Structure 1
Amino acid sequence: MRLLQAGVLALWLACTGAQAGTAPAEQGSGESVLTMRVDGELTIGTQGEVEAYALRTELTPDIQKMLDKAIPKWAFVPIEQDGKPVRAKTPMRITLVAREIGEQKYEVKIDNVIFSPLTKEDREAAERAAGKAVARMNRLPFPRYPQELMLAGIEGSVLLRLRLNPDGSVADVFAEQSSLYNVKGSRRALDKARALLEKSATDAARKWTYSVENASAEQTQDIDVKVPVKYSLKGPDEIERDGVGVWRYEYRGPRLDPPWKKADDMEPIVGVSDLNNGEMVSGNTPFRLRDRSVLNQAL
């Protein structure tokens, strides 16, 4: 575990000549947690009950037992087709969070669950089948890795929320949440490091473009996408496996909503800990828990 101290932050500011306003305003301090992602699929019955589920991620017996106890209790708003309730199957991504509650004691909860196709192929196929616009990211340069963080070996991630123009350019960009991985230090230093990653990601995203298919200009204006930007010194294979089926230490900031967000119960809630590198979430989902408070209970 790397240590990031306030003195390191002072050195950054001196070396980079950072002035007030060069990084996004810090909007709340982060928290230290352990997270783990678990992939699977879920079948919902006509009454909104969990009819079947399968977890593809290999888990330890204790985690498997926790989820086997929790998932069957979930209740969903029934899925309807032509006005009638139907059985429905969906991919599922569970994010677990563990918080320290004592000396070497942790409380485990389900932090979030996503019921959306996350691979590029599955997501685009689902959007086309539903008659929705399909947004595909063009080949883009990766945001600049802040040199001061790279030299210190600090890795992290930023979850961006983008709103697209009809021509596929980015109308608005907002950093919804950011995390640092496997690093400890003063909150001031850690929050400053998050702000540096957020600035790097948002600056780059303003120049991105997308190819948009299957949409009128009016529909395209409503497209927004959630995209993770990973800053890692690992190889591609290691990045893909990081946090899947194993605990990962994060210093994670609060999740914030962009100013253009509309009240929409069908919009999936996505956090920085929920997505792998290269994944993207867009649009709404018909899969809705009746009561999301079941996700915040200790397992």
Structure 2
Amino acid sequence: MAMKGIRRLALVLALGGALAPSMAMAGTGAGPGSVRKQIESSLVVAGDVYIETDGSVSRLDIDQEEKLPSGVVKLVRDNALQWKFQPVVREGHAVKAIAPMRLRVVAKKLDGDRYEIALRGVSFERYDAKDPQSVAYLKLDAPKYPTDAFRSNAAGTVYLVVKVGRDGKVEDVVAEQVNLRVIGSEGEMAQFRKLFADSAILASKRWTFRVPTEGEAASQPYWSVRIPVSYSLNRDPSEGQTYGQWISYVPGPRQVAPWSSTSDSANFAPDTLVDGGVYMADSRTPKLLTPLQGG
């Protein structure tokens, strides 16, 4: 498959106290205009959200705050303290709770060298391989890097939704979203997404899992889990791998798993999940009721 005109994305984005970062794009040439307009530059902010019995947020602890631009820290903290959650209930009573947070902050181009930052998606999932109430890996074979993608110096991340049966084997799988760190024509981008998705799906069908043995989830006929699969070359960081570092990519469209009977929060984004984890898609994490920004 010929892949001409492909350009890797490189980003240098400096952001201090202001909320309008400047961005310089480096590369060997310009990619197709329609695809370039889809480029996002983002970083992930992690921390813990303290939820009160009425669902309000009383405190936000941000991980490694010193590694983050001050403007990002201010934006996240100012908005998170206005969030409202559905009260967390245990044994029929509302209780205080601490939820892990991974929040994607996106830089969007305005005009000239001016950019603004905004909150794009969040997850409150935590992966604990020893938790008997959650699905965890038993056997994980790494996928092969697609040959045509490797030759074209293409990179990306596939966000899988996997249906795990009661025997711990994969019953079905779908690529929910594929983000690319490469620029080409619309047709080339679609081919790259398919290459990466097919590779990840093929590998996932050989995986096996430890299924829940305790809690409400233990009685389910199957479990849906989300698993990020990253394809990187030359030690380039994937989305969220290097904390505090801006990453440029072209986000792909999202699709719903055909067997899914639950709907995600409007604020949820699969690309906030960390590589190497297994995340219960139907878990009972705290539900955010207000918008991420301006709520």
Equivalent position of 1:146 in the other structure: 146
Under a length normalisation based on structure 1, what TM-score does the superposition of the two structures give?
0.78
> Are the counterparts in 2 of residues 163 and 171 from structure 1 also a CA contact under 8 Å?
yes
- 1:213 is displaced (CA, Å) by 4.2
Match of 1:61 in 2: 70
Name the aligned partner's letter for residue 55 of structure 1.
I
The one-letter code sitting in structure 1 at the alignment partner of 2:210 is S
Matches within 5 A, 1:125-204: 125=131, 128=132, 132=133, 134-181=134-181, 183-204=182-203
List aligned pairs for 1:35-114, cutoff 5 A. Answer: 35-57=42-64, 58-114=67-123
Q: Secondary structure at the match of 2:211?
A: strand
CA offset digits 1:18-66 (Å, max 9, x no partner): xxxxxxxxxxx89321121111001111111101111013211111111
For 1:211 and 1:227, the matched residues in 2 are separated by 15
Shift of 1:203: 1.6
Distance 1:280 1:44, change over 3 A: same
1:190 Cα deviation (Å)? 1.7
Q: 1:174 to 1:296 in 2, by over 3 A?
A: farther
Q: What residue identity is the alignment partner of 1:36?
A: L
Equivalent pair of 1:76/1:287 in contact (CA under 8 Å): yes
Distance 1:221 1:270 in 2: 26
* Matches of 1:75 and 1:269, distance apart in 2: 15
5+ residue gaps, structure 1? 10-28
**Is residue 122–residue 267 contact of structure 2 (8 Å, CA) maintained in 1?**
no
**2:10 aligned with 1:7:** no
Distance 1:242 1:96 in 2: 14
Does the residue aligned with 2:292 lie in a helix, a strand or coil?
helix
Alpha-carbon distance between aligned partners in 2 of 1:180 and 1:108, rounded to the nearest angstrom:
20
Please say if residues 229 and 275 of structure 2, whose CA atoms lie closer than 8 Å, have aligned partners that are also in contact. yes
Instruction: Check whether the contact 1:74–1:289 (CA below 8 A) recurs between aligned residues.
Output: yes
Q: Does the CA contact (< 8 Å) of 1:174 and 1:202 recur in 2?
A: yes
Higher helix share: 1
Q: Given residue 41 of structure 1, which amino acid in structure 2 is its aligned partner?
A: D
Residues 162 and 173 of structure 2 are in contact (CA less than 8 Å); yes or no, is this contact kept in structure 1?
yes
- Structure 1 residues 45-96: Cα deviation after superposition (integer angstroms, max 9, x where no partner): 1111101111013211111111122111111111122222111111111111
Cα root mean square deviation, aligned: 2.9
Aligned residues: 261
- Asked whether 1:207 is paired with 2:206, we answer yes
The residue aligned with 1:295 is: 292
Q: Which amino acid aligns with 1:295?
A: L
* Mapped partners of 2:74, 2:105: distance in 1: 13
For residues 202 and 89 of structure 1, the distance between their equivalents in structure 2, rounded to whole angstroms, comes to 34
Aligned equivalents of 1:64, 1:265: Cα separation in 2 = 26
Deviation at 1:113, TM superposition (A): 1.3
Matched residue, 2:254: 255
C-alpha separation in 2, matches of 1:161 and 1:202: 10
Question: Where does residue 19 of structure 1 map in the other structure?
Answer: none
Aligned letter for 1:157?
A: T
Residue of structure 2 equivalent to 1:31: 38
Per the alignment, do residues 46 and 217 of structure 1 end up closer, same or farther by CA in structure 2, a change over 3 Å counting? closer
**Residues 267 and 227 of structure 1: is their aligned pair in 2 closer, same or farther, counting only changes over 3 Å?**
farther
Q: Structure 1's 296 and 35: CA in aligned 2 closer, same or farther, altered over 3 A?
A: same
Deviation at 1:257, TM superposition (A): 0.9
**Which residue identity lines up with residue 99 of structure 2 in the other structure?**
T
- Would you say the 8 A contact 2:39–2:250 is kept in 1? yes
Q: Residue 252 of structure 1: SS of its match in structure 2? A: coil
